[in-house]
Amino acid sequence: MPAPAHLDPRLLRAFLAVAEELHFTRAAARLYVAQQALSRDVRRLERELGAELFVRTTRQVTLTADGERLVPHARRALQAQDDLLAAFGQARALLVDVNSPGLGTPRRVLHRARELAPEYELMARYESGLTGAVGELVAGRLDVSFGRFAGLDPALRTGLDHQPVRYEPMAILLPDGDPLAEMDRVPLAALAGRTVYAGSGNARTPEWTDLAHRLFDGRGIEVAAPSPLAVGDEEFQRIMAKTRAPILAVVDFPAMPGTVLRPLIDPVPLSPVSLVWRKGLVHPAFDAVRRAVAQIAAEEGWLRRPAEGWIPAIDLATMNVHK
């Protein structure tokens, strides 16, 4: 059968979603369409190309040889379409989750990406944690996020990819008047016998709480029990003033009245930060974000680990694979 004179880009997007998910239900959720409509689009594409693209059984979906062959062509075609629309000012905004307002690493990457691609719109979003952002990424309502990729539940990593950004030194946020606030740097041993808040009970940030448990294990430091989530700076400051509990943070955590931030040492705990996106993401500004990550990491040594640095083995393996 001769190739069709025209292919609807929607059919190619449907094909790529299934090719990357290898699951029609997940692909439909990612595109925010009904599974029946997605299946219909894939069948139409197969008819128009005169080729079977997937082998479907009751247990799995796999690509045929023709399907494998189509993947790179489909990606290039969709990229070309997005580039064309961008050239005429019609590219949609790239939605970039920077976790929380004022958080240093994601914000700096976003600012650099805007400098690299001023012709595109990059919009900040605030999903609080990587686990909380995953659903938005998969559904296509968010394009990229930042966080600890190895800390995600393996089931949540399906359909996602990542690029290492930084081994960010961790810190402790202390209320004014805390004895440890008099130190320039706080040894982990100085926290022995104390309880530290690390987001327990926050369904959006379990990857951070897991990192805290791994860090404190065997050091006599307790992770604070779950408590109602404080939303907004005012509530956060009020609860901290009330409980007087130290809070596990990173060195770029934004300053807050009534608190001091002190780096942790002996060893220097590192929070592994990755740029995370759904596989097959096509957007003309996405390359600018990845270039921004690479530039800043090279300029400031974000991916150099200090000799005294600490990081869980699971994170180190995940970060090294994608370097």
pLDDT digits (tens, 9 = 90+) for 121-169: 899 998 889 999 998 898 888 999 999 999 998 888 888 999 999 999 9
pLDDT digits (tens, 9 = 90+) for 179-207: 999 999 999 999 999 999 998 888 889 99
CA distance 209 to 206: 5
Residue 17 domain-assigned?
Answer: yes
67 φ/ψ angles, rounded to the nearest 5 degrees: -65, -45
User: Residue 46: what residue type?
Assistant: E
Residues 185 and 232 both lie in one domain: yes
Residue 2 domain-assigned?
Answer: no
State which H helix or E strand residue 253 sits in: none
Domain final position from 42, 65, 87:
87
Listed in sequence order, the residues at least 6 apart from 182 whose beta carbon sits closer than 8 Å to its beta carbon are: none
Give me the half-sphere count of Cα atoms (radius 13 Å) on the Cβ side of residue 40: 5
User: Residue 200: what residue type?
Assistant: S
Tokens of 105: 């690493």
Residue 3 domain-assigned?
Answer: no
Q: What is the mean pLDDT of residues 246-273?
A: 92
Residue 102 domain-assigned?
Answer: yes
Residues 274 and 160 both lie in one domain: yes
Q: What is the mean pLDDT of residues 29-53?
A: 86
pLDDT surpassing 80 at residue 244: no
Residue 4 domain-assigned?
Answer: no
Residues 157 and 178 both lie in one domain: no
Cα 297 off chain centre by:
17
DSSP, res 190 = G
Domains of the chain: total: 3
* Range scoring the smallest mean pLDDT among 133-147, 223-237, 245-259, 266-280: 223-237
Tokens of 126: 């605030």
Residues 157 and 295 both lie in one domain: yes
pTM of this prediction?
0.71
188, 197, 247, 186: which is closest to 220 by C-alpha?
A: 188
pLDDT at res. 3 = 54
Beta strands in the chain (DSSP E): 54-56, 61-63, 94-97, 122-125, 144-147, 160-175, 186-187, 195-196, 222-223, 247-250, 259-265, 268-278, 309-310
Residues 183 and 219 both lie in one domain: yes
User: Residue 318: what residue type?
Assistant: T
Residues 116 and 256 both lie in one domain: no
pLDDT surpassing 90 at residue 226: no
Residues 283 and 158 both lie in one domain: yes
Residues 105 and 146 both lie in one domain: yes
pLDDT surpassing 80 at residue 101: no
Domain final position from 62, 87, 112:
87
pLDDT surpassing 50 at residue 118: yes
**Residue recorded with tokens 């997007």:** 13
- Asked if residues 234 and 242 have their Cβ atoms less than 8 Å apart, the reply is no
Q: Please report which confidence band the pLDDT of residue 1 belongs to, taking 50, 70 and 90 as the band edges.
A: very low
Residue 256 domain-assigned?
Answer: yes
Listed in sequence order, the residues at least 6 apart from 313 whose beta carbon sits closer than 8 Å to its beta carbon are: none
pLDDT surpassing 90 at residue 25: no
Q: What is the mean pLDDT of residues 193-222?
A: 94
- Asked if residues 145 and 127 have their Cβ atoms less than 8 Å apart, the reply is yes
Residues 163 and 175 both lie in one domain: no
Domain final position from 48, 63, 87:
87
Residue 79 domain-assigned?
Answer: yes
Residue scoring higher pLDDT (254 or 5): 254
Listed in sequence order, the residues at least 6 apart from 258 whose beta carbon sits closer than 8 Å to its beta carbon are: 175, 176, 237, 240, 241
pLDDT at res. 191 = 97
Residues 179 and 304 both lie in one domain: no
Residues 179 and 261 both lie in one domain: yes
Listed in sequence order, the residues at least 6 apart from 214 whose beta carbon sits closer than 8 Å to its beta carbon are: 312
Range of the domain at 176: 169-267
pLDDT surpassing 90 at residue 10: no
